[in-house]
Amino acid sequence: MRFALFRADLRTDGEKMPDINILDESTINKIAAGEVVERPVSVIKELVENAVDAGAKNISVEIKGGGIDLIRVTDNGCGISRDDIPKAFLRHATSKICCADDLLDIRSLGFRGEALSSVAAVSMVELMTKTEDAVFGYRYRIEGGREMSFDEAGLPNGTTIIVKNLFYNTPARRKFLKSAVTEGGYITELMERLILSHPSVSFKYTMNGVVKLSSTGNGDVMADVYSVFGRDISRLLVNIEYDDEKMRLRGFVGKPELSRGNRNFELFFVNNRYIKSKILSSATEEAYKPYMMLHRFPFVILYLDIDSSCIDVNVHPSKTEIRFYEEQELYRIIYEAVTAGITRQELIPETPVMKETTVSGAGSDRVCEKVSEKVSEKVPEPSVPVSIPEPFEEKRIREFNETVTQAASQTPLVSSTVQETLFKEGFLSEQARRSHRIIGQVFDTYWIVEYEDSLYLIDQHAAHEKVLYERFSKQIAANSVMSQTLSPPCILSFSPAQADIIDENIEILAQTGFAVEHFGGNDFAISAVPTELFGMSEKDYFISVVDGLSEKNIKPAQIKDRIATMACKAAVKGNMHMSVAEAEALISELLALDNPYNCPHGRPTIVSFSKYDLEKMFKRIV
């Protein structure tokens, strides 16, 4: 073993391994900067958190070119004394902690002391700062980690940091940045969360000379929610509170009608720090389950003030994840508080009585019927595992499939795969379709079709989903989507980050049948929607589209496919009566598709029994 270690400097081919080099300070700093500064939003996060820790009550953030060209953060905090200015740009230099024991009681947002050194290593930085007791302030310039100048200057109390040309000296890292619009979108999203997490701080956020966000800093959280998300969201929020000797919970839970297509609007703040937490998400979603459709997520803004001895914040470099030491107790508290907030309010969603619309090119008027839903007020006990009933339609389909499967197991000759009997070429051919005989409908959901020596059951909901999806997909691919005019237009309010997403994808939205225009501030007027989406609330489906666009790294083709998938929501439901003529038209269009076998979500559209199978089941054939 000792010999093997001694010979470790030789490769297997006999050549000597390269010498071990001691990296210079500049290279070390650039490598370290990559761990802290991933993109412009990382810079702003570090600088703003430093400003908050410095006691600032007014913070201004300005960016240009998505933060790549320019970042300016100005605060009225305590400032930095002259002797501490150069030290602030050294690695692991911090005013937040003094020793390892301090890590057990972290009360600041940052404490590693790597922010300024990392930013300065990969950009051109100018610092202007003045403490309250100083006569003059100081201007300090550092580029690529090298000090350029250090002078006195007449300045107001506080600190301003200007960051220019991010990654100018690390082109390999810069080329992996996204467009200025996308990078700016990340920053807008961060600023929204900073405003919500620090209601006692007044923020002003400017992008390319336009003020995107501002907050009062007077401690009114609801006012901040309004400034970030607009009136449509704030009026549907319910206040919740909980207190004990170890923690205080407060915040807002959205009514179920605010449900979204992803978890982006599950906002959790622990000790004024935005975090992501599986425990908090699970408890919240469990409380909402009796009131929400599958694959939908709640809109919540929860603030948890908790004793620092009950958490560990030093488990993730970006501090977006923390560890709770009493997870079960925390889960219970969140569950019960959210449940109490939901059940305390009337949950019947508000819907328009009538909406008059015109189908472009179709020459016909269509009217939306009034819809009213009453949600059960019964809440499952949190102390035991919660069993959530399936939607009625899903349950009926599952039970039907189980019955068929059970019969198949008892009578092996019953078809166990659709391809064996159903999808032989004859059944799908145009000539065969003329010989199909529709026997009728069972449970207002399944249509029975007889053809030659087989019996077919067609799920009208799954079939209609498939037809609408394929029809809409083809229209999108051919750039021939028909639009339906809304009169009057639907006016929706979004957060600044969502507004940026809509602006960035306005061309794709137009290609898929949406006519969208600015209506002042972060409001948009939806004046036309895809014809295939008729039957849905224009508000709900457009918000779902924006939620889909919000997902990171999504490609244009995926966006269009998701919009096409939304046509499924307009499909006729199970347990809804259809006429024979309507069923014939639906089945004919379904069977003409290249793949009529499954709906877009993977469920079968058709199952079959052969005459032989049935006779075996009834013991006509031994």
| Tokens matching residue 99 | 């020793």
Tell me the C-alpha to C-alpha distance, in Å, between residue 325 and each of 159, 243, 305, 316, 333.
37, 18, 14, 16, 14
Greater pLDDT, 615 or 54:
54
Predicted TM-score of the model (pTM): 0.62
Q: CATH classification of 390-622, choosing from 3.40.47.10, 3.20.190.10, 3.30.1540.20, 3.40.630.10?
A: 3.30.1540.20
Q: The dihedral of CA 428, 434, 436, 439: what is its sign?
A: positive
* Across 394-422, average pLDDT: 40
Q: Which of 2-6, 132-136, 271-275 has the highest mean pLDDT?
A: 132-136
pLDDT of residue 2: 44
Distance of CA 8 to the CA centre of its chain: 50
Domain ranges of the chain: 25-164, 221-343, 390-622
Do β-strands 266-270 and 300-306 pair in parallel, antiparallel, or remain unpaired? Answer: parallel
* Across 109-119, average pLDDT: 67
159, 75 Cβ separation under 8 angstroms: yes
| Interatomic CA distance for residues 229 and 265, integer angstroms | 11
Residue 255 DSSP symbol: -
301, 313 Cβ separation under 8 angstroms: no
118, 32 Cβ separation under 8 angstroms: yes
pLDDT of residue 151: 94
pLDDT of residue 388: 30
* Across 72-85, average pLDDT: 94
DSSP notation for 138-173 = EEEEEETTEEEEEEEE---SEEEEEEESTTTT-HHH
Contacts of 498 (CB under 8 A, 6+ apart): 522, 546, 550
pLDDT of residue 345: 58
DSSP notation for 475-539 = HHHTT---EEEEEEEEEEE--HHHHHHHHHTHHHHHHTT-EEEE-STTEEEEEEEEGGGTTS-HH
pLDDT of residue 231: 81
* Across 308-316, average pLDDT: 67
Same CATH fold, 221-343 and 25-164? no
**Residue of 419, 416, 415, 421 whose CA lies nearest to 451:** 421
State the chain's maximal CA–CA distance in angstroms: 105
Lowest mean pLDDT among 165-179, 272-286, 573-587: 573-587
Contacts of 416 (CB under 8 A, 6+ apart): 408
Tell me the C-alpha to C-alpha distance, in Å, between residue 166 and each of 230, 278, 578.
33, 34, 62
| Interatomic CA distance for residues 43 and 59, integer angstroms | 15
**Residue of 282, 314, 309 whose CA lies nearest to 297:** 282
* Across 500-525, average pLDDT: 86
569, 591 Cβ separation under 8 angstroms: no
% of the chain beyond a pLDDT of 70 = 71
Residue 567 DSSP symbol: G
Using the predicted structure, report yes or no on whether residue 412 has a pLDDT greater than 60: no
Do β-strands 124-130 and 158-164 pair in parallel, antiparallel, or remain unpaired? Answer: antiparallel
| Interatomic CA distance for residues 285 and 288, integer angstroms | 5
pLDDT of residue 266: 93
Report the mean per-residue pLDDT for the chain.
76
**Residue of 271, 303, 304, 274 whose CA lies nearest to 106:** 271
Q: For residue range 233-270, list pLDDT tens digits in order.
A: 888 898 999 888 778 999 999 988 788 888 889 999 99
216, 226 Cβ separation under 8 angstroms: no
Q: For residue range 417-435, list pLDDT tens digits in order.
A: 343 444 444 565 566 666 6
Greater pLDDT, 280 or 316:
280
CATH topology of domain 25-164: Heat Shock Protein 90 (3.30.565)
| Tokens matching residue 443 | 């449970």
pLDDT of residue 233: 86
289, 388 Cβ separation under 8 angstroms: yes
Lowest mean pLDDT among 126-140, 159-173, 234-248: 234-248
Tell me the C-alpha to C-alpha distance, in Å, between residue 307 and each of 233, 250, 313, 314, 441.
31, 15, 12, 15, 62
* Across 59-77, average pLDDT: 96
* Across 406-414, average pLDDT: 36
- Indicate the angle between helix axes 460-477 and 556-565, nearest 10 degrees: 140
Distance of CA 10 to the CA centre of its chain: 51
pLDDT of residue 94: 56
Q: For residue range 363-390, list pLDDT tens digits in order.
A: 333 333 332 333 333 333 333 333 333 3
Q: CATH classification of 221-343, choosing from 3.30.1370.160, 3.30.230.10, 3.30.360.10, 3.90.1170.40?
A: 3.30.230.10
* Across 479-495, average pLDDT: 85
Q: The dihedral of CA 487, 491, 492, 498: what is its sign?
A: positive
Using the predicted structure, report yes or no on whether residue 393 has a pLDDT greater than 50: no
% of the chain beyond a pLDDT of 90 = 25
Task: Identify the band that residue 160 occupies on the pLDDT scale cut at 50, 70 and 90.
Answer: very high
* Across 275-284, average pLDDT: 90
Greater pLDDT, 235 or 70:
70
**Residue of 214, 52, 50 whose CA lies nearest to 125:** 50
Tell me, what amino acid is at 150? F
Residue 453 DSSP symbol: T
Greater pLDDT, 5 or 446:
446
* Across 448-467, average pLDDT: 81
Using the predicted structure, report yes or no on whether residue 111 has a pLDDT greater than 90: no
Beta bridge partners of residue 61, listed in sequence order: 73, 205
pLDDT of residue 376: 35
**Residue of 131, 122, 54, 40 whose CA lies nearest to 89:** 122
Cis amide leading into 488 (omega within 30)? yes
